[in-house]
Structure 1
Amino acid sequence: MKLIIQIPCYNEAETLTIALNDLPKHIEGIDEIEYLIINDGSKDDTVKVAKEWGVNYVVNFKRNKGLAYGFLAGLDACLKNGADIIVNTDADNQYVGKDIEKLVRPILEGKTDIVIGERPVDTTEHWSPLKKKLQHFGSWVVRKASKTDIPDAPSGFRAYSREAALRMNVINEYTYTLETIVQAGRTKIAMTSVPIRTNGELRPSRLFNSMIGYVKKSMVTILRALMMYKPLMFFCILGIIVFCMGAALGFRFLFFYFQGVGSGHIQSLILASTLMMLGFSTIVIGLQADLIAANRKILEDIQYRVRKMDCEKNDKR
């Protein structure tokens, strides 16, 4: 059983050694532990620090491509190098390295395919009350969108079995954390969470510049994932709402019409007709999107089989 711990990095020379030193060297049930960094266009000595420490693999980008792209590239590299379990952690030592054993244990026991570390949000001292509330709210929205019970959706401290990693896809360029939970929940991949610890803050987060920006990007990511994995439901609900608004205005016009004063409410009739047509068109778009989603599922299955064959070839070498 081979575990590869991957760390996305962007100008992490100052903190990377601290994070690497905290990683486990041995876990019961794991035969081999290796380490991989994704250098996402760093301008400092991140790669030099990693190589001097002794990481096994470096995925190198010449320019910054974003966390989501780096995460997927790391998964792909881990699979090609024979990983049975992949753990993703941060280069700023946010998470306690010893808790990696907690992450991989449910996978080793065959209970699940994805394990997400649940941070102690309410007791994290360097987080503001607003950030804590937003974390809880965001996780609640993701739970509803994904139909899962993951309490800490934005957590990047997570473990994937080979089977789960083979099926992962991320479309947005912002972050992988939310979309992958929605994807796993909607495609019925076994997933759970375990409580983990966090360390003190070594540097401010680079994922967002403001809370408003974070909330906006997160909501767009969730909505986009929902449109991708449940398009018929999403567009039908939206279309029915718009259609019903138009129908209500139409009944209002009819009421006045039969009262003999309909000529003064022609604007309502025009707006009602427009809204009803928009609602019907939105439902039709949902039907078309559902057909596209069916083709996407076929393509994802083909991608899974190709990735699996590549892994099996690598295992035989």
Structure 2
Amino acid sequence: MMRFSILLPAFNEAARLPVVLDSIARQRYPRENVEVLIADGGSTDDTVGIAQSYGAHTFFNPMRRAEPGAQMALNKATGDVAIFMAADTPINDDAFLQHLADAFENLQVAAAFPAVVSTQQDGATTRYINAFTDPFNHFVYGGAASPASYHRTYRLKRREKGYEIYDFKNGPSPLI
């Protein structure tokens, strides 16, 4: 069975982290096949304590920024598939990991980008970025900036139940 490593850089996320970790705990996927790694950038709140209370592996990220933290977590990951998440973005589908495992059974699938769903709590800017992308990344990357616009840049190879397979060989690298 496929093992997942969920990678979360965090800094002072005590107020938002429980919602994210609850969404991971609700996954209908064998818990022994899911590890959560949190790269903490020196939080002064209870981020580390909360993470550990959920069984997450925590470690210090001396660079404090999300990108180096994600890389540190990836270096410690033991799963077959790494999932990069923000510490304030819960998983909205309790079967997400199972859907992902099903998609990766197709050997043509090498990477996956989830649909981004805004919540009622999200402001107008966040809803816009979730639906499209931020203007800077759109200017720089065009149709490669967001999975929502891949159909404009890449050839759709196949549509499956719950996912699509795009041909990334003949275009700019997608923004991850």
> Shorter-normalised TM-score: what interval?
0.5 to 0.7
2:162 corresponds to which residue? none
Q: Is 2:23–2:90's contact at 8 Å kept on the other side of the alignment?
A: no
Q: Is 1:135–1:152's contact at 8 Å kept on the other side of the alignment?
A: no
1:90 corresponds to which residue? 86
Identity of aligned residues (%): 18
Check if 1:27 corresponds to 2:29: yes
The one-letter code sitting in structure 2 at the alignment partner of 1:77 is K
CA gap of 1:187–1:41, structure 2 versus 1, over 3 A, is farther
1:119 corresponds to which residue? 116
Structure 1 position 151, deviation (Å): 1.8
The one-letter code sitting in structure 2 at the alignment partner of 1:68 is E
Query: Per-residue CA shift, 1:57-83, capped at 9, x if unaligned?
Result: 22312452x1111111111111xxx21
Structure 1 position 152, deviation (Å): 6.5
Q: Compute the RMSD of aligned alpha carbons.
A: 3.7
Q: Does the residue aligned with 1:44 lie in a helix, a strand or coil?
A: coil
The one-letter code sitting in structure 2 at the alignment partner of 1:76 is N
The one-letter code sitting in structure 2 at the alignment partner of 1:102 is H
Q: Does the residue aligned with 1:43 lie in a helix, a strand or coil?
A: coil
Q: Is 2:4–2:34's contact at 8 Å kept on the other side of the alignment?
A: yes
Alpha-carbon distance in structure 1 between the residues aligned to 2:148 and 2:16: 28
Name stretches of at least 5 consecutive residues in structure 1 with no aligned partner: 154-184, 192-221, 223-317
Alpha-carbon distance in structure 2 between the residues aligned to 1:149 and 1:6: 20
Q: Is 2:133–2:146's contact at 8 Å kept on the other side of the alignment?
A: no
2:76 corresponds to which residue? 77
Check if 1:51 corresponds to 2:47: no
CA gap of 1:97–1:73, structure 2 versus 1, over 3 A, is farther
Q: Does the residue aligned with 1:22 lie in a helix, a strand or coil?
A: helix
Q: Is 2:29–2:98's contact at 8 Å kept on the other side of the alignment?
A: yes
Alpha-carbon distance in structure 1 between the residues aligned to 2:121 and 2:48: 31
Query: Per-residue CA shift, 1:237-272, capped at 9, x if unaligned?
Result: xxxxxxxxxxxxxxxxxxxxxxxxxxxxxxxxxxxx
Whose radius of gyration is greater, 1 or 2? Answer: 1
Alpha-carbon distance in structure 2 between the residues aligned to 1:4 and 1:75: 8
Structure 1 position 16, deviation (Å): 1.6
The one-letter code sitting in structure 2 at the alignment partner of 1:135 is T
Alpha-carbon distance in structure 2 between the residues aligned to 1:86 and 1:106: 14
Alpha-carbon distance in structure 2 between the residues aligned to 1:45 and 1:130: 26
Query: Per-residue CA shift, 1:186-227, capped at 9, x if unaligned?
Result: 798x98xxxxxxxxxxxxxxxxxxxxxxxxxxxxxx8xxxxx
Structure 1 position 94, deviation (Å): 4.1
- Higher strand fraction (1 or 2): 2
Check if 1:12 corresponds to 2:13: yes
Instruction: Give the length in aligned residue pairs.
Output: 151
- Higher helix fraction (1 or 2): 1
- Structure with the bigger RCO (C-alpha within 8 Å, sep 6+) is 2
Alpha-carbon distance in structure 2 between the residues aligned to 1:38 and 1:104: 24
Alpha-carbon distance in structure 1 between the residues aligned to 2:8 and 2:100: 15
2:158 corresponds to which residue? none
Alpha-carbon distance in structure 2 between the residues aligned to 1:21 and 1:125: 18
Structure 1 position 136, deviation (Å): 6.5
Q: Does the residue aligned with 1:91 lie in a helix, a strand or coil?
A: coil
